[in-house]
Structures are given as C-alpha cells and as structure tokens.
C-alpha cells in the first residue's frame, strides 16, 4: 500500500528546483504554470534567496508547481498510488495529481490563495510556533490559555500554535512543561480565524473551476477522510484556509489503510520525518531530484497494491 505526500509551506529552500530545470519539458511546463500564477517560478525556484521564497504569495505557488512537475514526471511511468495527501497548501498539489483539478486551475487557485493569505497576514502581525513534546493535554491547555489556535496537529509530539505575536509571546512566557517551542518562519497565522478575509475571494474563484472525481484515495486535512467527490474536495480546499490542519487524522487514515510505503514529493523530507514517528515500519522515500525518478518508481512498484 503506497501513499504519496505533498509538502506544505516552509519546506522550500533556495535553489531546490534547479536540478529539475535541466529538462526542457519541465522548463516548458514550469513556464506555462508561471503564466497562470503571474510570477516567474523558475527564478524563485533557482535564484531567489530564502527571504524571497518565504513570502506567502511566492512560496505557495512555488511549492505546488514543484509538486506538480515532480509528481507528473514520476507518475508518467509509474503505477497509480493507493493514496495521496498533501499538508496545507500541499492539498492543492494532491488534488491536481489525483485529477480533481487541472494543473492550470490548481495554479490559479493557489496563486489566489497565496495572495489572499498574504493580504490577510498584513492586517495584523501574526505568526506560528511549533510546540514539540510535552503532555498533549497540557500543551492544548497552554495554547488555549494564550488565546492561540492549534492550527496544525502534526501527529505524535508536534502541534503548531498560531495567533497574534502578543499571544505567541504569552505562550513563550508560559510554555507547557517538557515542551520545546520553535518559532516558524512564516508570515501569518495560517489556518485560523485571521485568514477568514482570504476565504471569500477563493470561494468566488472556486465557483468557476471544473472538478472531477479523484483517480485514487484522496485524503482531506479537515478530518483525514477519503473524499471521492471532486466538488467536495474543492469546497474543503476553500474552507481549510481558515481552519486547522488535522494531519494527525490523515496519518491515522494512512495507518488504517495499511500503508507500507510513503513517498514525499519535492521539496521532501518534512512529511517523511513526521511519518517516521507516526507510521512505524513504513518504508520512506524522499524525492528531491530527477535523477531519483527510476528508484522512486521502483519504490512505488514495490508498495503499490495493484501496479498499472
């Protein structure tokens, strides 16, 4: 049983797309996606520095584009995965690779998402902080006491708190016992009420997009459920902007399905790291460069239930 995972914001690093652009077809595909997004994805994936690609309206289209070019290159000669899921903005990558949205519509959606969330973030200084370790009940209590939202539940031992910088300072001053706090390099309190201004514009855009049923099991960040209706997938993508990411529930679903192999799309490493702690015994594969495609396809063939 094979699952493909698409990473979310924060996974990007300077120059991570450079190896992929050695292929003419990938350069052309990225150029077409750049036209839709309205930004030069090749530039941001090869030449821009860490601060430039940290910006929400740049990072989100860049990550989805990377997942699309890497995923489409992989799946062109590989079996259909048994399940696919994406973390936060990676849900858009997953939806496109599962056939729910066309690549162009996925890019139009994520570009609007990134702009809307960047604008919402500019209304008031907000951010996010990972809480690693601690007793779960005490962690939840400390987050709530500071007025924060548990915006990402990433499974065993990691919850991401989000809210105003003042609320995050309150959490830092009163941390839960035996927990480590890590300030994240993000520009806003994503997946909280602070992102509600971004939802209306996305809702309007979504009404003009066409959807299809997923070609494989597609998991939702809202509750870990497998969603088999394309229109419902899109509705959930809109709502998820201002609601918590329950990656823990996605991990529970993958465990219940009996997943034996997990492959993360570029830029990979974050979600396989989480899977290592939560999906004991599952084999892991980080796809980051095109020279890994042959090995990645062999990994898929070893773990996919019914090879194409």
Active site residues: 88, 191
Give the total residue count for the chain: 308
Of the candidates 25, 3, 144, the one whose C-alpha atom is nearest the C-alpha of residue 87 is 3
State how far the Cα of 45 lies from the Cα of 269, in Å rounded to an integer: 17
CA distances from 78 to 246, 254, 299 (A): 29, 20, 10
Other C-beta atoms closer than 10 Å to the C-beta of 22 total 11
Q: Is the peptide bond before 267 cis (omega within 30 degrees of 0)?
A: yes
Contacts of 204 (CB under 8 A, 6+ apart): none
Of the candidates 240, 301, 256, 224, the one whose C-alpha atom is nearest the C-alpha of residue 9 is 240
Dihedral angle, C-alpha 99, 100, 101, 106, nearest 10 °: -100
Q: Tell me the Ramachandran region of residue 178: left when phi exceeds 0, alpha when psi lies from -120 to 50, beta otherwise.
A: left
Residue 301: both structure tokens together:
């063939």
Burial of 104 (0-12, 13-18, 19+ CB in 10 A): middle
């Amino acid at each position: 049983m094979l699952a493909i995972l698409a990473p979310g914001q924060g996974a990007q690093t300077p120059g991570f797309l450079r190896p992929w652009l050695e292929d003419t077809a990938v350069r052309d595909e990225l150029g077409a996606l750049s036209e839709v997004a309205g930004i030069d994805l090749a530039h941001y994936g090869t030449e821009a520095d860490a601060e430039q690609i940290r910006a929400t309206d740049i990072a989100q289209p860049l990550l989805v584009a990377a997942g699309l070019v890497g995923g489409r290159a992989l799946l062109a000669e590989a079996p259909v995965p048994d399940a696919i899921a994406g973390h936060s903005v990676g849900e858009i990558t997953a939806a496109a690779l599962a056939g729910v949205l066309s690549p162009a519509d996925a890019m139009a959606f994520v570009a609007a998402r990134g702009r809307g969330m960047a604008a919402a973030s500019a209304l008031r200084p907000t951010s996010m902080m990972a809480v690693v370790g601690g007793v779960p009940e005490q962690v939840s209590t400390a987050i709530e006491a500071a007025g924060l939202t548990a915006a990402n539940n990433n499974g065993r031992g990691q919850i991401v708190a989000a809210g105003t910088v003042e609320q995050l300072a309150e959490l830092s001053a009163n941390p839960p016992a035996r927990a480590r706090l890590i300030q994240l390099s993000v520009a806003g309190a994503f997946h909280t009420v602070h992102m509600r201004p971004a939802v209306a514009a996305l809702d309007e855009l979504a009404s003009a997009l066409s959807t299809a049923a997923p070609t494989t099991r597609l998991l939702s960040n809202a509750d870990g459920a497998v969603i088999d209706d394309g229109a419902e997938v899109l509705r959930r993508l809109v709502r998820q902007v201002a609601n918590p990411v329950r990656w823990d529930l996605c991990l529970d679903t993958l465990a219940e399905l009996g997943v034996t192999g997990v492959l993360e799309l570029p830029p990979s490493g974050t979600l396989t790291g989480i899977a290592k702690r939560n999906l004991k015994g599952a084999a892991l594969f980080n796809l980051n460069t095109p020279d890994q495609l042959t090995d990645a396809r062999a990994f898929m063939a070893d773990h996919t239930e019914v090879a194409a």
